[in-house]
Amino acid sequence: METTPTPSVLPVLPLCSTHYQVSEPQGIPGTSEKLDKNRFEDWLFSAGYTEDAEKLASCSLRVEHWTCDKGHDFYFRKYCGREYCPICGAKDSYYHNRRVMRAGEHFIWAVTWGNLTFTMPKEVSERRLEKRQLRKLQDLAWQATQRILKIEGAGVTVHLLGREGQGLHVHFEVLFHMIGCFNKGLISKPKLKAIKKVWAVLLNREMGLDLKKTDVKYSFAATHPKKWHKLSYIHRPICTEDAMLALDDEDKKYILSLKGYHRTRWFGALANSNLHEFLRKHWAPMKLRETPLIEKRVCPMCKTKLHYQDTMFIDEIPKSQVVQYNSDIWMDRAVDAFLRQEKQGET
Per domain, the residue ranges of the chain are 15-80+292-346, 110-282
Whether the CB-CB separation of 146 and 152 falls below 8 Å is answered with: no
Phi, psi at 143, each rounded to 5°: -60, -45
pLDDT tens digits along 235-275: 999 999 999 999 999 999 999 999 888 899 999 999 989 98
Beta-bridge partner residues of 326:
329
Q: Specify the pLDDT at position 4.
A: 37
CA-nearest of 243, 197, 294, 207 to 91 is 243
Distance (Å, rounded) from C-alpha 86 to C-alpha 59?
9
Residue ranges, the chain, pLDDT below 50:
1-37, 182
Distance (Å, rounded) from C-alpha 172 to C-alpha 155?
10
Architecture per CATH, 110-282: 2-Layer Sandwich (3.30)
Q: Specify the pLDDT at position 47.
A: 94
Long-range CB contacts (< 8 A, 24+ apart) of 104-108? 104/13, 104/228, 104/231, 105/288, 105/289, 106/153, 106/155, 106/266, 106/270, 106/275, 107/155, 107/175, 107/177, 107/227, 107/231, 107/270, 108/10, 108/286, 108/288
Distance (Å, rounded) from C-alpha 58 to C-alpha 41?
11
Claim: this prediction has a pTM higher than 0.85: no
Q: Specify the pLDDT at position 268.
A: 94
